[in-house]
Chain A
Amino acid sequence: MPESPAKRRKKNDKTGSPSKGPTLDFFFGRKQPVPSKLKLVSDAGSNEGLTDEELARKLHEQWAKEDALLSCRPLKDAETGESSQRSVSADQETKDREFARKLQEDEELEGSGSGNEEAVSFYPPESSTKRESSTKRESEPPKQPAPPSKDAKIQLEDKPEWDKIIDGLLFDMDPLSFNPEDYKSLVESLPDGRLSYGLLTRAFVLINSTRSRIKIVDTLTNFLRTAIACDPASLLPAVWLTTNDIGPPHEQTELGIGGSVISKALIKVGGLDQKGLRTLYNKYGDAGDAAFEAKVKQRTLQLRKPVPLTIKDVYSSLVKISQSKGTGSQEVKQRIVERLLVQSRGEEVRYLARTLVQHLRIGAVKTTMLIALSRAFLMTHPLDASNPAPNSPSTLSKLAKEAKTEVFSAAEEIVKACFARCPNYNEIVPGLLTVGLAGLKDVCKLTVHTPLKPMLGSITRDLPEMLGRLGSREFTAEYKYDGQRAQIHCDENGRVSIFSRHLENMTDKYPDLVALIPSIRGPNVTTFIMEGEVVAINSDTGDLKTFQTLASRGRKDVTIGTVQVNVCMFAFDLMQLNGEELLAKPFRERRKLLREEFMEVEKRFTWVKSLDATADDQDAVIEFFKGSLKEKCEGVMVKLLDNEVPPGDNGVLETDATDLDTLVEEVQKKSNSKGKAPKGKEAKKGGKRKPLLATYEPDKRLESWLKVKKDYDASTDTLDVIPIAGWHGMGRKSKWWSPILLAVRNPDTGSLEAVCKCMSGFTDAFYQEMKEKYSEDGENTTRTKRSYIEAPELHPNVWFEPQEVWEIVFADITLSPNYTSAIGLVSEERGLSLRFPRFLRKRDDKSIEEASTSEDLAAMYRKQMSSGKPTGDVGGDDNEGDFED
């Protein structure tokens, strides 16, 4: 890259206007003479042409406003420590004032001297004030930020005014009393009027400081509203940054930076070495915290006032990182990461690093984002939008509590339903900005090559219960194959995309399926979206193979020639045909279209085996279910066929699912009802509990689809294993050991053979207890592996002294190339391991001599193989079809 021969313009991060010049490129003054004191001060204090005094006044106003808003609320965030940064010790103040004076003297001296060379000074580097304040934190009562005195200006030029305001932002207040307009002047004072990353970080800090879902949603809602009102263009990047993604899963936008890029950048920026960073990382167990520590420890040189990172800037940098491919891309990525880290300050560093390692840890998951978006757009709309005026917070606050909840949930449903159809913020957010909640459903439609969220099945434990629930309604029972659920999209040009149930694009993984599509398309078919199960199959005999066989297929760059494991697609649903959305049609109709318009190909493409029945055909259904288990299926899926309920139905399947139009109406109505709560209430409850429909409801787990699996609790075997080692936990579990390496006993050799890592089923209290028992460098742990432990290729942080027995459950036993337990008993090359192990209880009554043996494990494996199908489903987790074991 640097050797590029072309003479080119080296891009600096300049934004055009000199007053908004590059952030940190120089710490020495510019060439032009600075004629007066005033110039210096304003240069340092603001870049929108305000003098300090003006700025101080503005701040004062700002804070006064906040005061007024908050007079009745205790200031929660003061404890977070951020706000205390505003306070600077008098000592520091004097020092800085002196320093400032010196600066000016130098300046004048130089200015009058040569005339073209400017005085140079080193500003007190970053975080000097922070250090002061951290020692004062205890004594400083958490109260409203004191408007800074005029003199105190210069000392803080490394922490710009807006940063201080941002640190005091109260995003976590009740959205109904939050007015995003209050922040307009703040946003306008930021460079280019763009929302700064600090603002987003502030929201993250607040979200992180609470465990209350309500507070989290409130904070996010308020932040989004600020974006909508003040800088709509930053909304989409902010949404992506909050969800810790760059794009939708099917577009495969991955940062593609390993820990090494980030740690290299941190080492550079933080001025520490590999070892120092490792120490920090081990101490905090989180990249963000380590980065924060590292960066704050190293001061940087700067003369010019730093320009804050904007949300757009951060997001577009991430996009750039994800797009740089090929040779030299690592270097490019590294540079971008460095630049971001250099430009970020304080808390920004923490969240930036977390964003880069793709683990934001703010507990704002997808649902939270959708809820926050719906509420934000309910209350605020962009200035220039043509969509109907939203409910003003004041209107909403007049509504009765239930009515308010209804309006909120109706709005939520709209956004969620649209997101299920079109799970891509790149469509949803612009849609919301232009047409608002009401028009969203017209914008976010089912689109070929954009996967929709699959509909999910509820779990029932046994057949009789299931039959009871269905009443007299007709249903079909389908084999639930042990494969991978797949959505196949095809457009009129025959281009095919295949998506996993997690919406990842796996077209490249199944070139054989892609090649198959032309032969299954009927003559009338142009475009379609269908769904089915991809199952490994013996292409000679047609026998189905296990999920493990399927999982052994290559994941990337598979070419037809190299396919070893043949697959068959068992189609079961059709969501779109020839451009027409079929989601609202009953299942019988969708299935009819599927079977009429497409053609089977032997051992390659067929329909799921099914049986249409009613509850009266109990025996037939039971036979069918048994048949499914014989064929190594996981069980059956039972699906309603029709929307209509036959007369005299006594079934109990009901729903409150409503269609989008009703929801939109509801929201509209509410906004016009102007506080007449009772009326709103009626409108909502008007006979909504209607029978369950046979429609396709993306991303919903309804009882119109019932998953029937072989009972799990009663018949499952458990293993008694010995914990032998642990790793440092990540994220939330960083203080504890997680995962834990478990072993079975080999009575012949006396050794303990590692069988799996386990990280579920533990309570926090248990983790704590475990950490105390096996404390690092304590008497129950060692750094080196004992010779009698067989755990090849495993490098836990610490080895436990084997001494207790835990009972665990698991989904099934698999042959493993990594673990060597029971090697030679079942297979000569492979050991056995467990899928989805989960901790049940400690067996204090057992000594390690009584733990399960490798022979026990092998016996269980043989039993599992002979019984046809492993019993899946750990504790209702919907894990099947996942490769992320």
Chain B
Amino acid sequence: MLEARLEQAQVLKKVVEAIKDLVQDCNFDCNDTGIQLQAMDNSHVALVSMHLGSDGFSPYRCDRNIALGINLNSLMKVLRAGANEDLLTLKAEDQPDSLNLVFESSANDRVSEYDIKLMDIDQEHLGIPDTEYAATITLPSAEFQRICRDLSALSESVSIEATKDGVKFACSGDIGNGSVSLRPHTNVEDEAKSNKIELTEPVNLTFSLKYLVNFCKASSLSSTVRLCLSNEVPLLVEYKMEAGYLRFYLAPKIGDEE
């Protein structure tokens, strides 16, 4: 039996909105620590990993491990039916055929209830250890979104070069080239507006902007985003939430240096 109540329906809404273009169907794995999701996109270039901790819900109850196989487009349809500020309660049996969603609006005592049919998705749940990255960059998520959007107008791929001086996003395309460089910078008034770079060795990797732009849809989840890079390892793009995270992993491209 799963019963989990979110104070604000928009948390789930934003998460699903951010990943539904990458992944069509996936399992929401529920256990006593919370709800997690892990899925790779069709082309096996990117992986999404989400965790919503139990303390993000009140109350949260999950007696047994339950996998909810959901089509994200269907889920999105239902989530759109609720308002951002609604209380959202998720309910499912131990061997569920469907997921029950109840939206309660405190403002006008409106209660709406939906059931989504579930499907069996043959997916294993995997653990991901913390990896030591050569470079970890924290920057405002709006900034990252803007960089990706601006550069994607010029090219399909971006090189991210982290050195001790800063991080440089550079691209070149048919119409010309462009780059954005950020230097470490601390905003004393608003911590979230700082750029932080932790570096053990310089890295330079190239990624598909299409995916990055896609990841940026999660910008509304968090005011900052963390980029972690190492050679020969996928890029990690992390958005922290109040009680959990949404992480994207992206395989690099072969650079154009050949």
Say yes or no: A268-B43 contact (C-beta < 8 A), given A7-B117, A106-B129.
Answer: yes
CB of B45 within 8 Å of the partner chain: yes
In this assembly, does B190 line the interface, its C-beta being within 8 Å of a C-beta of chain A? no
**Contact indicator A31/B208 (Cβ below 8 Å):** no
Query: Restricting to A50-101, which residues have a CB under 8 Å from any CB of B?
Result: 95, 99
A657 within 8 Å of B (CB atoms): no
Q: Confirm or deny: B87 has a beta carbon within 8 angstroms of a beta carbon on chain A.
A: no
Q: Kindly state the separation between the CA atoms of A106 and B132 in the bound complex, as whole angstroms.
A: 11
User: What CA separation (Å) do A342 and B46 show in the bound complex?
Assistant: 13
Q: Is there a chain B Cβ closer than 8 Å to A297's Cβ?
A: yes
B53 within 8 A of partner (CB): no
Complex CA distance for A339 and B123, rounded to whole angstroms: 17
**B84 on interface, CB distance cutoff 8 Å:** no
Pair count A-B, CB < 8 A: 144
A125 contacts chain B at the CB level, 8 A cutoff = yes
- Contact (Cβ within 8 A) B42 A296: no
A107 to chain B, nearest CB (A): 10
- Chain A residues whose C-beta falls within 8 Å of the C-beta of B118 in the assembled complex: 7
Distance (Å) between the CB of B40 and the closest chain A CB?
A: 6
User: Judging by beta carbons under 8 Å apart, are A3 and B44 in contact?
Assistant: no
Number of interface residues of B (CB under 8 A): 44
B133 smallest CB distance to A (angstroms): 11
Enumerate B16-53 residues with CB–CB distance to A below 8 Å. 24-25, 38, 40, 42-47
Residue B189, interface by CB 8 Å = no
CB <8 Å contact, A301 and B25: no
Tell whether A131 pairs with B258 under 8 Å between CB atoms, given A3-B73, A301-B45, A342-B43: yes
Interface size range on A against B: 35 or more
Residues of A within 8 A of B122 (CB): 9-12, 14
Contact B97 A31 (CB under 8 A): no
Complex contact A272–B42 (CB within 8 A): no
CA distance A338 to B40 in the complex (A): 14
Q: Are A134 and B40 closer than 8 Å at their CB atoms?
A: no
- Quick one: closest B residue to A113, CB to CB? B129
Q: How far is the CA of A122 from the CA of B250 in the complex (A)?
A: 11
Q: Quick check: A271 and B43 within 8 Å, CB to CB?
A: yes
**Which residue in A29, A114, A135, A301 is a CB contact (below 8 Å) of B234?**
A301
By a CB distance below 8 angstroms, the chain A residues around B71 are 2-3
Q: Name B's interface SS.
A: loop
Which residues of chain B are within 8 angstroms of A328 by Cβ–Cβ distance?
none
A298 touches B127 (CB 8 A): no
Contacts of B124 in A (CB 8 A): 26, 30-31
Binary B-proximity of A291-315 (CB < 8 A = 1, otherwise 0): 0000011111110000000000000
Which residues of chain B are near A99, meaning CB under 8 Å? Answer: 232
CA gap between A122 and B129 in the complex, in Å = 11
Residues of B with C-beta under 8 A to A24: 40, 44
Neighbouring A residues of B249 by C-beta, 8 Å: 122, 301
When C-beta atoms are compared, the residue in chain A nearest to B231 turns out to be A95
Please name the residue on chain B nearest to A338 by beta carbon: B42
Query: Do residues A28 and B253 form an inter-chain contact, with CB atoms below 8 A?
Result: no
Q: Which residue of A lies closest to B152 (CB)?
A: A273
Q: Tell me, rounded to whole Å, the shortest Cβ–Cβ distance linking A516 to chain B.
A: 51
Q: Which residue of B lies closest to A106 (CB)?
A: B129
Asked if B252 CB lies within 8 Å of chain A CBs, one says yes
CB within 8 Å for A299 and B252 given contacts A131-B258, A275-B156: yes
Q: Which of B200-258 contact A (CB under 8 A)?
A: 208, 210-211, 232-234, 249, 251-254, 258
Q: How far is the CA of A118 from the CA of B127 in the complex (A)?
A: 6
Give the chain A neighbours of B210 by CB distance below 8 A. 267, 271-273
A71 CB to nearest chain B CB (Å) = 35
Contact B258 A134 (CB under 8 A): yes
A residues apposed to B, CB below 8 Å: 2-3, 5-12, 14, 24-31, 95, 99, 106, 110, 114, 116-120, 122, 124-125, 127-128, 131, 134-135, 267-273, 275-276, 279, 296-302, 335, 338-339, 341-342
| Apart from A28-B126, A296-B254, 6 more pairs, CB < 8 Å | A7-B97, A10-B25, A134-B258, A271-B211, A300-B44, A301-B47
